[in-house]
Structure 1
């Protein structure tokens, strides 16, 4: 299951590491060896979910399609399997 398919688990498992990618790698190896996750600079974080959040408070809000989110990720320079959004029923 990808992070996009279980957004509640994803949001509940976000961590901020202020030291280095090596600290992240060490933590992942010790706690989640089969989940590589992804690291972003704090300045980029709000841009990742922007399409999903911009109209969230509207009564008729619908979650963006996976293809739309994949396009957005590519547009802001995020690529690779972690950023390929799957369709969610």
Structure 2
């Protein structure tokens, strides 16, 4: 994925009411954090010489019900992945 295509992806997310709230660039990786309501989306783009490019998307819902379910799972000994 080229830098231009990554920019287009972020623009398309923004047009769907995802708000860019953070960006961190440490070559060869660029991480962008977007939020929409109680959701957070992290888009990570890696370009290492000699390796295929990698794009990762990680979404998390930060709603109180989800956080409580996570805490209960931890208390029950269930490990979240």
Shorter-chain TM-score tier: under 0.3
TM-score (norm 2): 0.24
Give the structure with the higher percent strand.
2
The structure showing larger relative contact order (alpha-carbon pairs under 8 Å, at least 6 residues apart) is 1
Give the structure with the higher percent helix.
1
TM-score (norm 1): 0.23
